[in-house]
Each structure stands twice: as C-alpha cells, then as structure tokens.
C-alpha cells in the first residue's frame, strides 16, 4: 500500500506541476518538473543519506535545477530589530513582542534563464517555528530590498534584503532556502 501511495503522490505532483506551465512561459527556478517528482518518490530513505550541515553566512551554495539552470545562492547576513521608524511588526500583524529582521541574500545565475523570488526563504527556530518573509514593505526597510520576483539570464546576479516579522526575544537558528527544485532545503546557520 505504501508503494501505491508514493506512486500516486508522484503522479499528483507531476499533474499539478504540468498544470502550472504553458508553452508561452519559461519555467522558473521554483518550478518543479516531472523528473523531480519521480526522484522524490524514489529517493533514498532518510537513514541512508546524511544531511549537510548548515553553511556559514557568506558561503555560496551552487546547485543546478531539474531544468538545467545553475545558481550560486548565498546568505550574506542576518540582522534583527531593523526598520524602527516604520509601522512596527506588532502593529502590522497584531502580535506582541515582534520586530522586523532582515536577511541579506545574493543569487547569481550561472547557466540558463530563470526567475527568482523572495518566497522560498524561511527562518527556522529551535522550537520548530518557521517564519516566512513579510508580504508588506515600508520606506525604511533596509535597502536594497530583495525583489518579490526577478528574471535573470546567465551571468546576472540579484542581491537585496528580505524582511521578516520575528519574535524580538529570539533569534532563528537557521535560514532555509526551500525551493521545490532542491531535493532538500539549503541551510545557513545564524550566529548567536
């Protein structure tokens, strides 16, 4: 029964992916092709693979998507309690004790033509909490801002800061790049 469920999940993922593509559009870095869905269904058991330790800030992760695009992806830095003159994170999201934090990201496309976005980036905390980028922006957010979406061609880079609303009394342990084009998330450790 488990093999049948895995096969069904792979076919469903392939159908969803195919439904999102048209002949007029180029796949983006975050799109997932049928081979990726098949690979995920037949990937080794977690006990058979050793996860990579988180990278240090400033360390580049080079990878190639299923579509053949080659990227160099780097988290340049992390800063907490930024943008003190704008609407506070607490006011924006009706929270208590939250502040704005920024991740400095650089992505270079080494081969191909593809799109990038801020949405695969996630902050991971020791207690298991995960925080996604803010969907709002204010004039005093750290500059330059990482784009919501950008198209790159071979040789192009994009760098900027993505802002998150985070608990002011905690720091994330890791910064994750969670694109569906990777078999597992790329991780950078956040210094204490």
The string of DSSP letters for 126-178 reads TTS-EEPPPS---TTS-SSBPPSEEEEETT-EEEEEEEEEEETT---SEEEE-
First to last CA, the chain: 45
Give the pLDDT confidence score for residue 181 in this predicted structure: 87
Binning the chain into helix, strand and coil, the percentages to the nearest 5 are: 20, 35, 45
Element (H, E) at 184: none
Using pLDDT thresholds of 50, 70 and 90, give the confidence band for residue 84: confident
Q: How high does pLDDT run on average in the chain?
A: 79
Per-residue pLDDT tens for 113-138?
Answer: 999 999 999 999 999 999 999 999 99
Residue 48's pLDDT band (boundaries 50, 70, 90)? low
Q: Does pLDDT of 105 surpass 70?
A: yes
31 pLDDT exceeds 50? no
pLDDT, position 165: 97
Q: Is a pLDDT exceeding 70 seen at residue 23?
A: no
Kindly state the tokens that stand for 63: 């990878």
pTM of the model: 0.73
Average pLDDT over residues 41-66: 76
Q: Are 150 and 115 in contact (CB under 8 A)?
A: yes
Q: What is the pLDDT of residues 53-64, one digit of tens each?
A: 999 999 999 999
**Over the range 94-109, which residues count as b (16 or more CB within 10 Å of their CB) and which as e?**
eeeebbbbbbbbbbbb
């Amino acid at each position: 029964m488990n093999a049948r469920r895995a096969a069904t999940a792979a076919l469903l993922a392939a159908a969803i992916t195919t439904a999102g593509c048209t002949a007029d559009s180029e796949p983006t870095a975050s799109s997932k092709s049928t081979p990726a869905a098949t690979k995920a269904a037949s990937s080794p058991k977690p006990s058979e693979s050793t996860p990579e330790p988180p990278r240090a800030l400033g360390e580049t992760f080079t990878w190639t998507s299923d579509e053949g695009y080659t990227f160099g992806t780097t988290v340049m830095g992390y800063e907490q309690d930024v943008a003190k003159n704008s609407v506070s994170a607490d006011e924006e999201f009706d929270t208590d004790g939250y502040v704005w934090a920024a991740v400095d990201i650089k992505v270079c496309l080494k081969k191909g033509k593809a799109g990038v976005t801020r949405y695969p980036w996630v902050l991971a905390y020791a207690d298991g909490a995960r925080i996604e980028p803010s969907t709002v922006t204010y004039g005093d957010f750290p500059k330059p801002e990482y784009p919501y979406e950008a198209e790159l061609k071979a040789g192009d880079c994009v760098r900027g800061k993505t802002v998150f609303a985070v608990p002011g009394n905690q720091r994330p342990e890791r910064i994750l790049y969670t694109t569906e084009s990777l078999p597992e998330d790329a991780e950078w450790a956040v210094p204490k």
